[in-house]
Amino acid sequence: NGPVPAHALRDEEDYSWPRPMVPLLMDRRTVRLQNPAFVTVQPGDPGPMCGIECQRDLPEAGLAELERLLSYETLYENGTRTLTEVTLQDAAPPAAGGRHGRPVRRKRQVYGADGRFVITGERFVTRYPFAASVKLSTGCSGILVSPRHALTAAHCVHDGRDYVRGSGRLRVGVMKRRSRRAGGRGFGRGKARGAEGGDALEGSGGKRERKKERRRRRSRAVPKRPGLRWTRVQEMYVPEGWTNEVGGRVAPDYDYALLKLKRSPRVKPMVLGTAPPTQTTLGSRVHFSGFDDDHPGKVVYRFCSVSQESGELMYQYCDAQDGSSGAGVYVRLREPGGWGVRWTRKVIGVFTGHRSVDVNGTLTDYNVAVRITPAKFAQICHWIHGDASQCQLV
């Protein structure tokens, strides 16, 4: 359907980053769970979900319920897992209800003019912000939110009942520059051959000549198209709220997970933030990049406006295809205070994919993203740092 016209999007210059109070989240106790079997196949269409009107009718979660939803499972590289219960201090209840905007369109896949942008240039795809996008070996996308942590959708690794097949040996790929040697396979191996090869490298000046030969080989390296460089996942965190069923269905409100990598990919991560209040998000511009299946091995970027929203979810019509689930949804706003104007991109949500939403008994297709609320921010920040003192917005 193409990008939303500029006049239909809220001007980013009109807004600055909010500073909500982030609750203090601390571990209460950790228990060992039975090891997962990893027999569940990668989930497909999760089926209709509780819609915006349905969410309005749900009672607000009290402190005890919110602590249960924010408790989390940790899956370790060796296949063991634990459940950690948490406590919250100074926690505000989740926002209820939602505001409504007029939908832009009601189509589930891309049709007509495609509003996505395929990022192909090496100077763009291997640099911030596009380089912060990652691909999971289970086929989803994600985004780096610390040098060693990637945020993604929970359903990419867990179907609400058990971990999906492939998540036991999960890998995360980032776009990196690569190079190849000129002269074909095996170039540069062993001693130089021929009349000016082996004979020239012998004798008293052989060491000096070998150094010159190595420099010549390095200078003949030619650039190669950027590709994915993979690293294993060391730990995986999934909120208990992901297993919370509403009306017999898994609710998407907590469809997010954090992956701790075995080593840093040495790529600049994107800052984690909280979603602005609902009254300012509606109609504002959001962005995200992912690895859509119809463009294998390439980063695909898009932006659009938020059409409808609730306290936990954002509904929009950014063009997307399978494979983009788990991408980090971000906005670019001003930092308040200080001298001059400083702009920052922050992740405020996780794209969970195309969903059929029950709106007053009628199924309507939307693209849905989970909002990062202050309580969710406290939880994800706790997973990253393990220190609640580092999880306040200043």
Q: Find residue 152's DSSP bridge partners.
A: 257
Give the separation between CA 180 and CA 221, rounded to whole angstroms.
6
DSSP letters, 158-219, are B-SSSBBTTGGG-EEEEEEEEEE-TTSTTTT-SS--STTTTGGG-STTHHHHHHHHHHHHHH
As given in the structure block, the two tokens for residue 221 are 């390296």
Give the separation between CA 366 and CA 107, rounded to whole angstroms.
8
On average, the pLDDT of the chain sits at 76
Q: Before 129, cis peptide (omega within 30)?
A: yes
| The CATH number of domain 6-180+224-390 is 3.50.30.30 | no
For residue 287, which of 251, 333, 323, 254 has the smallest C-alpha distance? 333
E strands, the chain, in order: 24-33, 49-50, 72-76, 81-89, 117-119, 133-136, 141-146, 149-152, 171-180, 222-239, 245-246, 249-250, 257-261, 271-272, 285-290, 299-309, 313-316, 328-334, 343-359, 362-371
Per-residue confidence (pLDDT) for residue 62, from 0 to 100: 79
Give the phi and the psi of residue 166 in degrees, each rounded to 5.
100, -20
Give the separation between CA 147 and CA 133, rounded to whole angstroms.
12
Q: Find residue 289's DSSP bridge partners.
A: 301
44-93 confidence digits (pLDDT tens): 545 555 555 455 555 566 788 889 989 999 999 999 999 999 998 875 65
For residue 55, which of 394, 393, 368, 382 has the smallest C-alpha distance? 368
Q: Which of 2-6, 123-127, 178-182, 270-274 has the highest mean pLDDT?
A: 270-274
Q: What is the pTM of this model?
A: 0.77
- Please name the residues in contact with 33: beta carbons below 8 A apart, sequence gap of 6 or more: 73, 81, 82, 83
> Could you give the residue ranges of the DSSP H alpha helices within the chain?
52-57, 63-70, 122-125, 206-219, 278-281, 374-385
128-146 confidence digits (pLDDT tens): 888 999 999 999 999 999 9
